[in-house]
Each structure stands twice: as structure tokens, then as C-alpha cells.
Amino acid sequence: MSKQTVFTGAGVAIITPMYADGTVNYDEFRRIIDDQITRGSDAIIACGTTGESPTLDHEEHVEVIRVAVEQTAGRVPVIAGTGSNDTAYCIQLSKDAEAVGADALLLVTPYYNKTSQRGLIAHYKAVAEAVNLPIILYNVPSRCGVNIQPDTVVALSKIPNIVAIKQASGDFSATARIAAECDIDIYSGNDDQITPILALGGKGVISVLSNVIPTETHEICQKWFDGDIAGSIAMQLEYLELANSLFCDVNPIPVKEAMNLLGWNAGPCRMPLYEMDEAGKAKVANALKKYGLIQ
């Protein structure tokens, strides 16, 4: 029996807007959530990398998730980023996210201390057994220094509430093996690789680009599902330059710059993330101008 799909389409890896002093701007966060849902985002992913989870303290982390759940009000799923390189803390944070109403969890691989493939299985199994929510594995070796091997995904997919993987490895051969051998949904973790993942049977994307153009990112996926393969590919390629501009510096520095230019009170990133130099700012601004998003 197939597992239940958390969402299909484009889920936004939403920013956490902040005031100039670095405190969370919950009022603006609510406004951004409403705009995202109105413009077609299929899920809200709170407290991911783009939401600056590494520099949110525990109370802030849980409150951002709680506010996302409250503001979304069941219109789309809320997926809470609760991954950690401390399994005990990952369990605690995951339980707290479940308690405030999250629909699913996004769990990045343990970073810095890392672990073996056997350790990954033990880590994810421990978290899965501690909660009732569906879990999306998050594989991003460029950030974490550890890669979830296909055989490991096969083993983890046998755990009932591990239902999906966000693939940001760029390894399409590994992704194809996962698609062939696992009962697990696959989401692209890279905005420049949405259609390739869809071509392997993927369910959509967990997207940085959706912060800036939620409607169009949704449409890349929807056209594919509607059978307009050529249209989906055309849109993927059309917005490639914009997607790439949002990674001209460390995420989420460029996307926060873009959101500020678009008129949102996104605010600064928390250190150690630091504002871009003038060349980076110009690259983001020029991309937004090219696509007619700002004057």
C-alpha cells in the first residue's frame, strides 16, 4: 500500500522575516504566508535552511511553526523543519512541532559530527518512533557533509511514517534508484532541477524560488501533472536565471535581499550570515528587473 503524500506541487521553503534588531517579525511572517497561499504555494515549509533555523532558539523555532500553523489554518500543509545533529534534541523539537499542529516534519541529516549510514538509519528510526507525523528526509550533502545513500533510503522507507525525501544532492542516478526501489515520495531540493525530478516520478519541489514567484513555481509543477510537459520544461528554463540569482551567495542571503526589494519587510539575516556585497545585490536586483518583478 502506498504511503500518503504530504503535498504535491511547489512547497515554499519560507523565509523568517526579522526586524532590524534581528528579532522575528511575526506580523510580516503572517502576511507572507497569506500571500504565498493566495498565489498558489502548495505547502508552507517553516524553519528550514531558508527560514534560518540554525540561529533560531528553541522558543522561536517552535513559535515560528505555531504561527505558521495558525495562519495557514488548514489551507495547505505546514511542514516543520526540526532536524538536528543531536538526536535527542531532534526528537524534542519534533514532538514540540507535533504539539503545535504541524502536518509533517522535514529532517535534515545530522551535520558537522555527521554519522555513518547505519547511524542515519538509527537516527531517523528513533525520531520516527517518537512522533506520529509523516517525515520527509532531507538530503543535502553540500551543507551537511553526509549523503543518504540509496540503500539507506530503501531501509528507511520501510518505516511507516517516513514517507518522502527532499533530494538536494544533484545526483540523478541515485534519485532514479530511490524512485525504482522505494515506496517513498521524492521532492526536488533544487529550483534548477524541478522538471528532472518530476521526470523521475517526483511529487514536486521544496522551493526557495517560491518565495519570489510562488505562482510560476507552482505552475512548473502543475503543467507537468496536467500533461503539458513542454510547457513545464519551458518554464523551468525561463526562470533558471532568476533561480540561480537566489544562490549567488549563501542561502537565504540573496532571497531575503530579493524579498526586501519586492517590498516585503524581510529584514536582515542573523549572523554569521551577512549581507551581500554590492555586486551580489546588483545581481539579485538585475534578475528581478529582467523578469519584471521590480522597476
Determine which one of 124, 166, 187, 281 is catalytic: 166
- Whether the per-residue pLDDT at 255 is higher than 70: the answer is yes
- Whether the per-residue pLDDT at 139 is higher than 80: the answer is yes
Residue with cell 533558471: 240
Q: Where are the domains of the chain?
A: 9-215
Could you tell me which residues come within 8 angstroms of residue 184 by beta carbon, excluding any fewer than 6 positions away?
A: 3, 153, 156, 157, 162, 163, 164, 165, 178
CATH architecture of 9-215: Alpha-Beta Barrel (3.20)
**For residue 122, what are the CA distances in angstroms to 65, 115, 119, 199?**
26, 10, 5, 31
- Quickly state the pLDDT bin for 3 (edges 50, 70, 90): confident
Provide the percentage of residues in the chain whose pLDDT is more than 90. Answer: 99
Give the model confidence (pLDDT) of 28-65 as tens digits. 999 999 999 999 999 999 999 999 999 999 999 999 99
How many other CB atoms sit within 10 Å of the CB of residue 174? 17
pLDDT of 1: 43
Residue 112 known to be catalytic: no
CA angle in degrees (0–180, nearest 5) for 174-177-182: 120
Give the model confidence (pLDDT) of 193-211 as tens digits. 999 999 999 999 999 999 9
Q: Which residues lie across from 106 on neighbouring strands?
A: 81, 136
Over residues 154-176, the mean pLDDT reads 97
H/E element, 135: strand 135-139
- Whether the per-residue pLDDT at 2 is higher than 90: the answer is no
Determine which one of 138, 256, 281, 283 is catalytic: 138
Residue 138 known to be catalytic: yes
CA–centroid distance for 138 within its chain: 9
Q: Give me the chain's average pLDDT, please.
A: 97
- Whether the per-residue pLDDT at 81 is higher than 90: the answer is yes
Q: Where are the beta strands (DSSP E) in 89-134?
A: 104-108
CA distance 262 to 234: 25
Over residues 232-257, the mean pLDDT reads 98
